[in-house]
Amino acid sequence: MDKPVRDTNHVLSNRSRKYFDRFLPDSWVATVPQEDYGIDFYVDIVIDGKVSGLNFSVQLKSTANGKSSKHVSAILKRSTLGFLRVRLEPVMVVVYEESSDEAYWCWLTNGMYDLSNGHDTYSIPVTRQNKWSKMDWNELTKHVQRLFNNKTFIGDFDLSKVHSDVELIAWKAYFRNEFGKAVYLFRELQKESDLNDFALQALAWSLYMTHQYRDALFLINQVLKNKQTDNLFQTKACILAEMGREDKDRGKVLQAKELFESYASKDVTGVMSYNYGNTLSSLGEIKQAVIQYKKSLKIDSSNARCWKNLGTAYYDLQKHDKELQCYDEALSIDPELEEAMFSKGITLAQIYANYQEALELFNRVLSKNNSVKERFVNGLFWVAYCYEQIGDLKNALYWVNTGLELEGSNRYLLNFKSNFLAEYWPTYPEFKDVAEKFFNYRIALEGDYLSIYHLVVLKKLSMAETVALLSEHIPLFERLTAPAIESTGMDTSTIISILPGLELYLTFRRLFSLDRFKNMIDLGEKFWALLELFAVQAFNTAFKKYEFLKSADMVAYDVLANLTSYLPLAIPNIQIQNKMIHKNGNDLAAAIEKMLLELIDIEFKAQARFILRQFGLENMDCDSLLIKTTVNYFREDLHVEIEENLHLMTA
């Protein structure tokens, strides 16, 4: 009876594993991972009988006979390399050759392959000079130690000199990027005795990585009192940058930039260039940030977050094709990088109007757990926006409400919901009660002018009801009454039309006050209140007209025309309050006329120039024939109104 024939590749694979085990130090621990994504062994380095925390991964290959006399080749899949290049620990490639009964090894570095060329497999050359049977295990330990030191910015630290079990466990957690655990263990050691500078630096970096920036800054400054190294100053720069961004303290971010600049020309790590890029980005220096992100990726192209942040920088520079390429690169490295998915989704929606694909990305993130929503509150604006664009109004409202439950004062979400409800309640009756409740909420929250506008329209308020609502929330209307406004010919729609632009007008008024004129002749509260109303109406009309017609010449005329057409209507409301009342009639009329002409001249020029500056325009002709003619007509109307109402002014 024939015996079963074993697969040749299987036999060769077993031989390679046995050969690998034969020369590995007896005390070292080689573990086979449960899931094989390209790693055959995790190897823990043991020092003086203790697991040190230093480790490396092994990709083990085998071949019957190598084709080159200088090297053997390991064929690795693209997906395998993508997984290996984001490993925290160093990765070693070992190739066993049957014909020579020897294994050869090399450290896998990013420079050995280029995933951007799109190949399915890559050939990694492993030199025959590095024989597994001749491995210097002490030198390998030192090399792994140096790699970990460089990766974690510790410098020339030697783990073999650590004899405390607790400290060894702390370092093990640190080198494995288990920073929360490292903080706890180093803090426990601190209770027993003072930590050396290496341990303090490790604790400072662990605190930084767990967002405890103040404690991290305190410790790094403590170490800097004893020694000054490039790593320490760069670590301090990282801490200052994140602390400044979190506290919105530009001074700290600038300090971080100065420190990074001091070491920019030196042999910095990819992480430091990445953090330098983040610092520059925070300061709005986007082009310089791009340079640093590219430097970082040249050193370590496996940093998915760096690719994502480079994409965000390209968004700011409006280079959206490059932006999307960066997000795709980030997601090829880390398919679950939520920030990259959300950023890509926003650009697809905002720039390319690709709402369906954007929603697919958003929902991949949001389906994970509720805590994700808390980190992407502003992003929920775009989720709601996409649903609105595809006509799914129910989900649009759901997601904006979800965002407002997390941040009730978020301006982006508040504005979205205001605009959404204002647009849809007239067509969809089910939204009417929701809209009324929300507009009242926002008025109570911040006295929002636009919500007042929408509420007046929705409830069809009368002039008296409108003025009562306005006077409750807007000081400009406190001294106005419905009859006084109606006497000028203004109706409710005219009054509320000023609300969308009121905030900009108030900014203008803070710069150009009417107080100097009030102090010349006090014409009474009712007159000044009406004049303010006319001024904001003129401002708002001219601003809208420029947005529509883009005619700078018409801005001054529109302001002047509105002021001069309404102001005479306020003359009957003048009530002289000061010593001017003792002047004779002619003198009083002349004084009032002169002041109001001067007021109109200054006011219309100030308004027109302010409005045009909002559109980046400075030069304007305020002395055209059209304007002179308007002023002459106004002078005549003003003179007549003053003469006719003079007897009422001093009553």
Mind listing the pLDDT tens digit for each residue in 86-108? 677 899 999 999 889 999 999 98
- Write down the pLDDT at residue 456: 96
Six token digits for residue 624: 């055209």
**What is the domain partition of the chain in residue ranges?**
8-147, 514-649
Maximum pairwise Cα distance, the chain: 138
* Alpha-carbon span 437 to 455, nearest angstrom: 9
Tens of pLDDT, residues 189-236? 998 888 899 999 999 999 999 999 999 999 999 999 999 888 889 899
- Write down the pLDDT at residue 7: 55
Instruction: Grade residue 625 by pLDDT with cuts at 50, 70 and 90.
Output: very low
Adjacent-strand bridge partners of 96: 62, 103
**Res 381 pLDDT > 80:** yes
In this structure, whether the domain defined by 8-147 belongs to CATH 3.40.50.2300 is answered with: no
- Write down the pLDDT at residue 646: 63
DSSP 463-497: HHHHHHHHHHH-GGGTT--HHHHHTTT--HHHHHT
Higher pLDDT among residues 37 and 120, named by residue: 120
**Res 506 pLDDT > 80:** yes
Instruction: Grade residue 5 by pLDDT with cuts at 50, 70 and 90.
Output: very low
- Write down the pLDDT at residue 619: 63
Name the nearest CA neighbour of 233 among 202, 199, 272. Answer: 272
Q: Is 518 exposed, middle or buried (0-12, 13-18, 19+ CB in 10 A)?
A: middle
What's the DSSP call for residue 131?
Answer: B
Average pLDDT, the chain: 87
In the chain, % of residues over pLDDT 70: 91
Chain mean position to CA 518: 46
Residue 47 DSSP SS3? strand
Adjacent-strand bridge partners of 94: 60, 105
Q: What Rg do the C-alpha atoms of the chain give, in angstroms?
A: 37
* Alpha-carbon span 294 to 277, nearest angstrom: 9
Mean pLDDT, to the nearest integer, of 624-642?
Answer: 67
Six token digits for residue 369: 């757990």
User: CB neighbours of 447 closer than 8 A, spacing ≥ 6?
Assistant: 473, 474
Instruction: Grade residue 397 by pLDDT with cuts at 50, 70 and 90.
Output: very high
Name the nearest CA neighbour of 387 among 350, 359, 354. Answer: 359
Mean pLDDT, to the nearest integer, of 369-392?
Answer: 90
- Write down the pLDDT at residue 66: 75
- Write down the pLDDT at residue 458: 96
- Write down the pLDDT at residue 1: 46
* Alpha-carbon span 523 to 505, nearest angstrom: 23
* Alpha-carbon span 454 to 466, nearest angstrom: 11
Place of tokens 């989704």: 345
User: CB neighbours of 11 closer than 8 A, spacing ≥ 6?
Assistant: none
**Res 398 pLDDT > 80:** yes
* Alpha-carbon span 483 to 610, nearest angstrom: 32
Mean pLDDT, to the nearest integer, of 402-421?
Answer: 95
Tens of pLDDT, residues 163-199? 788 888 888 888 888 999 999 999 999 988 888 999 9
Mean pLDDT, to the nearest integer, of 556-574?
Answer: 79
> Could you give phi then psi for residue 123, rounded to 5 degrees?
-100, 120
- Write down the pLDDT at residue 159: 78
Higher pLDDT among residues 374 and 451, named by residue: 451
What's the DSSP call for residue 368?
Answer: S
Instruction: Grade residue 651 by pLDDT with cuts at 50, 70 and 90.
Output: low
What's the DSSP call for residue 67?
Answer: S
How far, in Å, are 35, 348, 405 from residue 39 at the CA level? 8, 36, 44
- The amino acid present at 281, given as its one-letter code, is S
Name the nearest CA neighbour of 334 among 80, 111, 86, 110. Answer: 86
**Res 531 pLDDT > 70:** yes
- Write down the pLDDT at residue 561: 79
User: CB neighbours of 632 closer than 8 A, spacing ≥ 6?
Assistant: none
User: CB neighbours of 251 closer than 8 A, spacing ≥ 6?
Assistant: 244
- Write down the pLDDT at residue 592: 81
- Write down the pLDDT at residue 305: 93
Instruction: Grade residue 572 by pLDDT with cuts at 50, 70 and 90.
Output: confident
- Write down the pLDDT at residue 187: 94
Torsion of CA 44, 49, 53, 57, to 10 degrees: -10
In the chain, % of residues over pLDDT 90: 50
